[in-house]
Amino acid sequence: AKDAVRVLVTGAAGQIGYALVPMIARGAMLGSDQPVILHMLDIPPAAEALNGVKMELIDAALPLLKGVVATTDVVEACTSVNIAVMVGGFPRKVGMERKDVMSKNVSIYKAQASALEQYAAKDCKVLVVANPANTNALVLKEFAPSIPEKNITCLTRLDHNRALGQISERLNVEVSNVKNVIIWGNHSSTQYPDVNHATVTISTGEKSVRELVADDQWLNGEFIITVQQRGAAIIKARKLSSALSAASAACDHIHDWVLGTPKGTWVSMGVYSDGSYGIPAGLIYSFPVTCANGQWSIVQDLKIDKFSRAKMDATANELIEEKTPGFINGKSEDFLSKRE
Ligand code: NAI
């Protein structure tokens, strides 16, 4: 039998955590033959609720689940973990200054970076979900210099899956037959969902999405806006932000990173830019990637038209702005409100 893999979920008593931990314990993240030990971290005010989640995990009698560590101690939470899914963060509360939220998240991600660096397994793979996801991942990277930069990523797979979903609905085809959309850039409303290389498998073979949809106005307009604004639409409908879809996307992200992407298929991941496609090196930016042997690589040499170029640069500029210390002290008022 395989050795158990230790998976950390921070913010595990929250909404996404509640959807995510059973998915992991049922094999959705690492496969149905991979035993797991769940490490769940939350903060002291949520300790009782966290223990309740642990009780439910025990009550679910899950065969793959070989142990549960539920703790408010960041060192205990990070010790020996192979995968770290960082969902915990500080939400903006009524009456709070935006800069307070930003600086709280920066200090959370600094502290958790140090704990991961010192106590996690050497090859630990990190996925940051908490917003601002790209910039939290960058903070984590900068404060955990001994973790290889290739091991620190952020979640844009939810946006990628939302784009697949919109194409599937529009064309009335199964979502599993749609592939190779791209989310470029920031997990915010400046992200650019790109269908220029996307295809759909139909009875006569693989066809381009542009050819099948045959409505560039929709693809260049409403489609992009719908994907960018989907998080806000979910909040409006549910009065709560996306949780099951975010949890599902987090499983997909780690699943494909660890187990590989299917031949001819890429996915979107927020990764440390090496300057590909003229995106400044040193940003955590969402790119199309393929994965093999537990490593992602950015898909190279895709043709980028003028329309795409402008949108890719705009979202890169937003990430540059988020990186500047002045930004964290409060410039753009809707910085947090436009992310879900
Ligand atoms: P939530 O508020 O229900 O849960 C957050 C949990 O984090 C709470 O239990 C809280 O106590 C905990 N927490 C706060 N500070 C912590 C710390 N220092 N250490 C450990 N835990 C801590 O929020 P929800 O809905 O689960 O969302 C979590 C995050 O994910 C938010 O930042 C949200 O904006 C983000 N998000 C990102 C998405 C993406 O695609 N990248 C999609 C949806 C949400």
- Alpha carbons 179 and 78: distance in angstroms, whole number: 35
Ligand 1 midpoint to CA 89 (Å) = 5
Ligand 1 atom nearest to CA at 74: 19
Res 202: pLDDT: 94
At residue 324, the pLDDT reads 74
**Which atom of ligand 1 approaches the CA of 49 most closely?**
9
**Has 187 been annotated as catalytic?**
yes
Atom of ligand 1 nearest to the CA of 336: 34
According to the model, what pLDDT value does residue 337 have? Answer: 45
Ligand 1 proximal residues by C-beta, below 6 Å: 10-11, 13-17, 41-43, 46, 87-91, 108, 129-131, 133, 155, 158, 187, 241-243, 246, 339-340
> What string of pLDDT tens digits covers the 340 residues of the chain?
899 999 999 999 999 999 999 999 999 999 999 999 999 999 999 999 999 999 999 999 999 999 999 999 999 999 999 999 999 998 766 666 656 666 788 889 999 999 999 999 999 999 999 988 999 999 999 999 999 999 999 999 999 999 999 999 999 999 999 999 999 999 999 999 999 999 999 999 999 999 999 999 999 999 999 999 999 899 899 999 899 999 999 999 999 999 999 999 999 999 999 999 999 999 999 999 999 999 999 999 999 999 999 999 999 999 998 887 655 444 333 444 445 5
User: 102-136 burial, b for 16+ CB within 10 Å, e for fewer?
Assistant: beebbebbeebbbbbbebbbeebbbbbbbbbbbbb
Q: Residue 42 Cα, ligand 1 centroid: separation in angstroms?
A: 10
Q: Enumerate helices (H) and strands (E) in the chain, giving the number of each.
A: 13, 14
Quote the ligand 1 centre to 179 CA distance (angstroms): 29
Q: Provide the whole-model pTM.
A: 0.95
Residue 191 confidence (pLDDT): 97
The residue with tokens 């010790």 is 79
Cα dihedral 90, 13, 67, 131, rounded to 10, equals -30
Residue-level pLDDT at 95? 67
Among residues 187, 197, 253, 255, the one annotated as catalytic is 187
**Comparing C-alpha atoms, which of 112, 164, 122 is closest to residue 6?**
122
Tell which residue, 321, 323, 317, 340, has the closest CA to residue 332: 321
Q: Taking the CB of residue 169, how many other CB atoms lie within 10 A of it? A: 11
Per-residue confidence (pLDDT) for residue 94, from 0 to 100: 62
Residue with tokens 């709560």: 240
